[in-house]
Amino acid sequence: SGLLIRLQTSAPTIRTLSSLNSFSQNIPSCLWKLGRLNHVAIAVPDLEKAQSLYKDVLGAQVSETVALPEHGVYTVFVELGNTKLELLHPLGEKSPIASFLQKNKTGGMHHICIEVDDIKAAMTELKKKKIRILSEEPKIGAHGKPVIFLHPKDCHGVLVELEQA
């Protein structure tokens, strides 16, 4: 009798799930999909001091500094168990990080980076959905892969970087 009660209470759940499945089959699927969080980028006014905090104080594995002139930044990656932090410092006067640090003297979160399986398809679909992309074509990012940035005003105040997985 206990088994019968459990079966009777399970039946509505099964019907609900099957009706959800038929509903989801009517939704067109994207030609691309989001992947994992690749990194959170932090603009820092003093790169050596920031590297020291993560390496010497917190004990994290910290990469060497890499210059990315095309993006106007120096980058350092801090390895975490499930993602990375990217420390950004201005490279040149026209660096977007220099203008960010003028407004945020002590630094702060600059952007998040999420992987996508097809960056070109993502660009096409996002443009159709009126999401502004800050460049006409992807640029090669710090990991040697194509990246684009989405306008923060279209992403609830967050600068979002998409990186080809």
| 74 contact partners, CB below 8 Å, separation of at least 6 | 47, 65, 66, 67, 68, 88, 89, 90, 91
Which residue did the predictor score with more confidence, 2 or 15? 2
Helices (H) and strands (E) in the chain, counts: 4, 9
**Average pLDDT for residues 121-130, to the nearest whole number?**
96
**CA 121 – CA 155 distance, rounded (Å):** 18
Residue 18 has pLDDT above 60, yes or no: no
Q: Which range has the worst mean pLDDT, 9-18, 30-39, 54-63, 123-132? A: 9-18
Which residue did the predictor score with more confidence, 63 or 1? 63
Structural domains of the chain, with CATH: 34-164 (3.10.180.10)
Tokens of residue 18, six digits:
């099957």
On whether the CB atoms of residues 158 and 139 are closer than 8 A, the answer is no
Which residue did the predictor score with more confidence, 30 or 14? 30
Residue 13 has pLDDT above 50, yes or no: no
What is this structure's pTM?
Answer: 0.80
Task: Tell me what pLDDT residue 105 has.
Answer: 97
Question: 15 pLDDT band (50/70/90 cuts)?
Answer: very low
* Mean pLDDT over the full length of the chain: 88
Task: Tell me what pLDDT residue 147 has.
Answer: 97
| 88 contact partners, CB below 8 Å, separation of at least 6 | 41, 42, 43, 44, 73, 74, 75, 97, 110
Tokens of residue 52, six digits:
């020291």
Question: 25 pLDDT band (50/70/90 cuts)?
Answer: low
Question: 44 pLDDT band (50/70/90 cuts)?
Answer: very high
